[in-house]
Amino acid sequence: MSPSFQVACVQNCAGREVEPNLPRLLELTAAAAADGADLVLLPEMASFIEPDDARIWQRAAAESQDIALAALREQARRSGCWLLIGSLLVRDESAGGDEHRVINRSYLIDAGGQIVARYDKLHLFDIGLDGGESYRESNSVRAGDRAVLAASPWGLLGLSICYDLRFAALYRALAQAGAQFLCVPAAFTATTGRAHWSCLVRARAIETGSYVFAPNQCGVHAEGRRTWGHSLIVDPWGEVLAEGDDEEGFISARIDPSQVTRRRGMIPALRHDRPIIVERAGGV
Protein backbone atom coordinates (compact mmCIF):
# COMPACT_ATOMS: atom_id res chain seq x y z
CA MET A 1 0.00 0.00 0.00
CA SER A 2 1.29 3.46 -0.85
CA PRO A 3 2.38 5.64 2.08
CA SER A 4 0.33 8.55 3.33
CA PHE A 5 1.01 11.94 1.79
CA GLN A 6 0.11 15.60 2.17
CA VAL A 7 -2.08 17.28 -0.44
CA ALA A 8 -2.80 20.99 -0.83
CA CYS A 9 -5.41 22.80 -2.92
CA VAL A 10 -4.62 26.37 -3.95
CA GLN A 11 -7.34 28.88 -4.71
CA ASN A 12 -6.52 32.11 -6.52
CA CYS A 13 -8.42 34.93 -8.17
CA ALA A 14 -7.11 35.08 -11.72
CA GLY A 15 -7.29 38.25 -13.76
CA ARG A 16 -7.51 38.42 -17.52
CA GLU A 17 -3.75 38.54 -18.25
CA VAL A 18 -1.11 35.94 -17.45
CA GLU A 19 1.81 38.16 -16.43
CA PRO A 20 0.14 39.92 -13.46
CA ASN A 21 -1.34 36.62 -12.18
CA LEU A 22 1.79 34.50 -12.29
CA PRO A 23 3.76 35.89 -9.29
CA ARG A 24 0.84 35.30 -6.91
CA LEU A 25 0.20 31.84 -8.33
CA LEU A 26 3.86 30.90 -7.85
CA GLU A 27 3.82 32.37 -4.33
CA LEU A 28 0.81 30.30 -3.29
CA THR A 29 2.26 27.14 -4.85
CA ALA A 30 5.59 27.65 -3.09
CA ALA A 31 3.85 28.31 0.24
CA ALA A 32 1.81 25.11 -0.03
CA ALA A 33 4.95 23.10 -0.83
CA ALA A 34 6.87 24.73 2.03
CA ASP A 35 4.01 23.76 4.34
CA GLY A 36 4.74 20.12 3.55
CA ALA A 37 2.54 19.31 0.57
CA ASP A 38 3.73 16.41 -1.58
CA LEU A 39 1.04 17.16 -4.17
CA VAL A 40 -0.23 20.68 -4.86
CA LEU A 41 -3.31 21.28 -7.02
CA LEU A 42 -4.23 24.55 -8.74
CA PRO A 43 -7.70 25.57 -10.01
CA GLU A 44 -9.07 25.63 -13.52
CA MET A 45 -7.81 28.49 -15.74
CA ALA A 46 -5.15 29.12 -13.12
CA SER A 47 -3.15 31.62 -15.16
CA PHE A 48 -5.94 33.81 -16.57
CA ILE A 49 -9.71 34.13 -16.82
CA GLU A 50 -10.88 36.11 -19.85
CA PRO A 51 -14.66 36.67 -19.91
CA ASP A 52 -14.65 37.96 -23.51
CA ASP A 53 -14.69 34.95 -25.84
CA ALA A 54 -13.24 36.99 -28.69
CA ARG A 55 -10.08 37.76 -26.69
CA ILE A 56 -9.30 34.28 -25.39
CA TRP A 57 -7.43 33.18 -28.52
CA GLN A 58 -5.32 36.37 -28.35
CA ARG A 59 -4.36 35.79 -24.71
CA ALA A 60 -3.69 32.06 -25.00
CA ALA A 61 -0.30 30.67 -26.06
CA ALA A 62 0.74 27.38 -27.57
CA GLU A 63 1.86 24.85 -24.97
CA SER A 64 5.50 25.19 -26.03
CA GLN A 65 5.34 28.96 -25.50
CA ASP A 66 3.13 29.21 -22.41
CA ILE A 67 5.08 31.17 -19.78
CA ALA A 68 2.82 29.98 -16.94
CA LEU A 69 3.39 26.33 -17.81
CA ALA A 70 7.15 26.84 -17.97
CA ALA A 71 7.25 28.74 -14.67
CA LEU A 72 5.06 26.23 -12.86
CA ARG A 73 7.14 23.30 -14.12
CA GLU A 74 10.21 25.04 -12.71
CA GLN A 75 8.35 25.73 -9.46
CA ALA A 76 7.58 22.01 -9.07
CA ARG A 77 11.23 21.16 -9.69
CA ARG A 78 12.50 23.72 -7.17
CA SER A 79 9.93 22.72 -4.54
CA GLY A 80 10.38 18.98 -5.07
CA CYS A 81 6.62 18.40 -5.10
CA TRP A 82 4.15 17.08 -7.66
CA LEU A 83 1.88 19.72 -9.14
CA LEU A 84 -1.50 19.48 -10.84
CA ILE A 85 -2.07 22.61 -12.91
CA GLY A 86 -5.86 22.53 -12.82
CA SER A 87 -6.01 23.91 -16.32
CA LEU A 88 -4.50 26.39 -18.73
CA LEU A 89 -6.12 27.69 -21.88
CA VAL A 90 -3.68 26.75 -24.63
CA ARG A 91 -3.66 26.97 -28.41
CA ASP A 92 -3.88 23.69 -30.29
CA GLU A 93 -0.50 22.86 -31.85
CA SER A 94 -1.66 19.66 -33.53
CA ALA A 95 -1.89 19.32 -37.29
CA GLY A 96 -5.14 20.87 -38.42
CA GLY A 97 -5.63 22.53 -35.01
CA ASP A 98 -8.66 24.78 -34.63
CA GLU A 99 -7.63 28.40 -35.26
CA HIS A 100 -10.59 29.84 -33.41
CA ARG A 101 -10.86 27.73 -30.26
CA VAL A 102 -8.36 26.83 -27.55
CA ILE A 103 -8.03 23.75 -25.33
CA ASN A 104 -8.87 23.79 -21.62
CA ARG A 105 -6.03 21.47 -20.54
CA SER A 106 -4.94 20.08 -17.18
CA TYR A 107 -1.29 19.15 -16.59
CA LEU A 108 0.20 16.79 -14.02
CA ILE A 109 3.83 17.73 -13.30
CA ASP A 110 6.22 15.50 -11.37
CA ALA A 111 8.80 16.63 -8.79
CA GLY A 112 11.41 16.91 -11.55
CA GLY A 113 9.27 19.37 -13.51
CA GLN A 114 8.30 16.88 -16.22
CA ILE A 115 4.79 16.66 -17.68
CA VAL A 116 3.39 13.26 -16.66
CA ALA A 117 -0.15 13.61 -18.04
CA ARG A 118 -2.44 15.95 -19.96
CA TYR A 119 -6.22 16.01 -19.83
CA ASP A 120 -8.49 18.09 -22.08
CA LYS A 121 -11.83 19.06 -20.54
CA LEU A 122 -14.59 16.78 -21.81
CA HIS A 123 -17.75 18.65 -20.84
CA LEU A 124 -17.99 22.32 -21.79
CA PHE A 125 -19.88 24.84 -19.68
CA ASP A 126 -22.76 25.94 -21.91
CA ILE A 127 -25.49 27.00 -19.50
CA GLY A 128 -28.05 29.73 -18.81
CA LEU A 129 -29.10 30.78 -15.30
CA ASP A 130 -31.90 32.91 -13.93
CA GLY A 131 -31.25 36.63 -14.19
CA GLY A 132 -29.50 36.39 -17.53
CA GLU A 133 -26.24 34.89 -16.28
CA SER A 134 -24.97 32.60 -19.03
CA TYR A 135 -21.79 30.97 -20.28
CA ARG A 136 -20.93 29.37 -23.64
CA GLU A 137 -17.54 27.74 -23.22
CA SER A 138 -17.89 25.98 -26.57
CA ASN A 139 -17.65 29.36 -28.30
CA SER A 140 -13.93 29.46 -27.51
CA VAL A 141 -12.89 25.97 -26.34
CA ARG A 142 -12.59 22.66 -28.17
CA ALA A 143 -13.73 19.72 -26.03
CA GLY A 144 -11.50 16.76 -25.25
CA ASP A 145 -12.42 13.24 -26.33
CA ARG A 146 -11.12 10.91 -23.62
CA ALA A 147 -10.83 10.41 -19.86
CA VAL A 148 -7.35 10.23 -18.34
CA LEU A 149 -5.84 8.21 -15.49
CA ALA A 150 -2.45 9.48 -14.32
CA ALA A 151 0.14 7.53 -12.35
CA SER A 152 1.64 9.09 -9.23
CA PRO A 153 3.83 7.84 -6.37
CA TRP A 154 0.68 7.32 -4.30
CA GLY A 155 -1.67 5.71 -6.80
CA LEU A 156 -3.78 6.60 -9.82
CA LEU A 157 -5.30 10.05 -10.21
CA GLY A 158 -8.50 10.48 -12.21
CA LEU A 159 -8.38 13.84 -13.98
CA SER A 160 -11.34 16.11 -14.63
CA ILE A 161 -12.14 19.83 -14.83
CA CYS A 162 -15.00 21.87 -13.34
CA TYR A 163 -18.27 21.20 -15.26
CA ASP A 164 -17.20 17.54 -15.56
CA LEU A 165 -18.24 17.33 -11.90
CA ARG A 166 -21.91 17.08 -12.93
CA PHE A 167 -21.34 13.90 -14.96
CA ALA A 168 -21.18 11.08 -12.43
CA ALA A 169 -20.53 8.41 -15.07
CA LEU A 170 -17.09 9.91 -15.77
CA TYR A 171 -15.98 9.45 -12.17
CA ARG A 172 -17.45 5.98 -11.93
CA ALA A 173 -15.52 4.99 -15.06
CA LEU A 174 -12.30 6.46 -13.65
CA ALA A 175 -12.75 4.68 -10.32
CA GLN A 176 -13.60 1.37 -11.96
CA ALA A 177 -10.46 1.75 -14.07
CA GLY A 178 -8.39 2.08 -10.90
CA ALA A 179 -8.45 5.72 -9.79
CA GLN A 180 -8.07 6.12 -6.03
CA PHE A 181 -8.00 9.93 -6.14
CA LEU A 182 -10.23 12.21 -8.21
CA CYS A 183 -9.07 15.71 -9.14
CA VAL A 184 -11.69 18.39 -9.80
CA PRO A 185 -9.96 21.75 -10.39
CA ALA A 186 -12.62 24.36 -11.06
CA ALA A 187 -13.71 27.92 -11.61
CA PHE A 188 -17.21 27.21 -10.30
CA THR A 189 -19.40 30.30 -10.40
CA ALA A 190 -20.63 31.88 -7.19
CA THR A 191 -24.24 31.14 -8.17
CA THR A 192 -23.81 27.44 -8.93
CA GLY A 193 -21.13 27.01 -6.29
CA ARG A 194 -23.36 28.22 -3.49
CA ALA A 195 -26.09 25.80 -4.57
CA HIS A 196 -24.21 22.70 -5.71
CA TRP A 197 -20.42 22.69 -5.21
CA SER A 198 -20.08 20.97 -1.85
CA CYS A 199 -22.82 18.39 -2.36
CA LEU A 200 -21.52 17.41 -5.80
CA VAL A 201 -17.91 17.04 -4.65
CA ARG A 202 -18.95 14.94 -1.66
CA ALA A 203 -21.27 12.84 -3.83
CA ARG A 204 -18.44 11.95 -6.23
CA ALA A 205 -16.34 10.79 -3.26
CA ILE A 206 -19.17 8.74 -1.75
CA GLU A 207 -20.26 7.15 -5.03
CA THR A 208 -16.77 5.97 -5.91
CA GLY A 209 -15.11 5.48 -2.52
CA SER A 210 -12.36 7.86 -3.63
CA TYR A 211 -10.56 10.87 -2.24
CA VAL A 212 -11.56 14.03 -4.10
CA PHE A 213 -9.22 17.02 -4.41
CA ALA A 214 -11.12 20.09 -5.61
CA PRO A 215 -9.29 23.45 -5.84
CA ASN A 216 -11.55 26.28 -6.95
CA GLN A 217 -11.06 29.85 -8.13
CA CYS A 218 -12.37 32.55 -5.80
CA GLY A 219 -13.40 36.19 -5.77
CA VAL A 220 -14.37 38.76 -8.40
CA HIS A 221 -12.74 38.57 -11.82
CA ALA A 222 -12.80 40.83 -14.87
CA GLU A 223 -16.19 42.28 -15.82
CA GLY A 224 -17.70 41.19 -12.52
CA ARG A 225 -17.49 37.43 -12.98
CA ARG A 226 -17.58 35.77 -9.55
CA THR A 227 -16.28 32.37 -8.51
CA TRP A 228 -17.17 30.50 -5.36
CA GLY A 229 -13.87 29.46 -3.74
CA HIS A 230 -14.43 26.97 -0.90
CA SER A 231 -11.87 24.47 -2.23
CA LEU A 232 -12.42 21.00 -0.81
CA ILE A 233 -10.50 17.89 0.16
CA VAL A 234 -12.92 15.03 0.80
CA ASP A 235 -12.21 11.48 1.96
CA PRO A 236 -13.74 8.25 0.54
CA TRP A 237 -16.52 8.29 3.13
CA GLY A 238 -17.59 11.78 2.08
CA GLU A 239 -16.09 13.53 5.08
CA VAL A 240 -14.66 16.99 4.42
CA LEU A 241 -11.03 17.00 5.55
CA ALA A 242 -10.38 20.63 4.61
CA GLU A 243 -12.39 23.50 3.13
CA GLY A 244 -11.32 26.91 1.93
CA ASP A 245 -13.17 30.20 2.29
CA ASP A 246 -13.69 32.92 -0.29
CA GLU A 247 -10.16 34.37 -0.19
CA GLU A 248 -6.92 33.44 -1.93
CA GLY A 249 -4.82 30.86 -0.10
CA PHE A 250 -4.55 27.10 0.22
CA ILE A 251 -5.94 24.22 2.25
CA SER A 252 -4.20 20.95 3.05
CA ALA A 253 -4.84 17.52 4.52
CA ARG A 254 -3.05 14.24 5.16
CA ILE A 255 -4.16 11.47 2.80
CA ASP A 256 -4.20 7.78 3.74
CA PRO A 257 -4.59 5.67 0.57
CA SER A 258 -5.57 2.62 2.63
CA GLN A 259 -8.90 4.33 3.34
CA VAL A 260 -9.88 3.84 -0.30
CA THR A 261 -9.52 0.06 0.01
CA ARG A 262 -11.28 0.08 3.37
CA ARG A 263 -14.33 2.07 2.24
CA ARG A 264 -14.70 0.24 -1.06
CA GLY A 265 -14.54 -3.03 0.86
CA MET A 266 -17.35 -1.91 3.14
CA ILE A 267 -19.61 -0.77 0.28
CA PRO A 268 -18.40 -2.44 -2.93
CA ALA A 269 -20.80 -0.53 -5.17
CA LEU A 270 -18.23 -0.24 -7.95
CA ARG A 271 -18.63 -4.00 -8.46
CA HIS A 272 -22.43 -4.04 -8.31
CA ASP A 273 -23.35 -2.44 -11.64
CA ARG A 274 -26.18 -4.09 -13.56
CA PRO A 275 -27.44 -3.40 -17.07
CA ILE A 276 -30.02 -0.63 -17.06
CA ILE A 277 -33.13 -1.19 -19.15
CA VAL A 278 -35.49 1.76 -19.14
CA GLU A 279 -39.11 0.78 -19.64
CA ARG A 280 -41.61 3.46 -20.52
CA ALA A 281 -44.96 2.65 -18.96
CA GLY A 282 -48.35 4.22 -19.42
CA GLY A 283 -49.60 6.42 -22.20
CA VAL A 284 -47.43 9.47 -21.55
Question: Hey, which residues are catalytic here?
Answer: 44, 121, 162
The dihedral built from the CA positions of residue 116, 186, 41 and 214, taken in this order, carries a sign that is negative
Chain-centroid distance, C-alpha 188: 10
- Among 66, 76, 73, 74, which residue's Cα sits nearest to residue 45? 66
Do strands 5-11 and 39-41 pair parallel, antiparallel, or not at all (unpaired)?
Answer: parallel
The answer for 35, left when phi > 0, alpha when psi is -120 to 50, beta otherwise, is: alpha
Helical residues (DSSP H) of 61-145, grouped into ranges: 67-79
CB atoms within 10 A of CB 52: 12
Q: Between helices 18-34 and 67-79, what is the axis angle to 10°?
A: 10
The letter for the amino acid at 131 is: G
Q: What angle do CA 208, 213, 214 make, to 5 degrees?
A: 110
Structure letter (DSSP) for residue 63:
G
| Alpha-carbon gap, residue 47 to 167, rounded angstroms | 25
CB atoms within 10 A of CB 275: 4
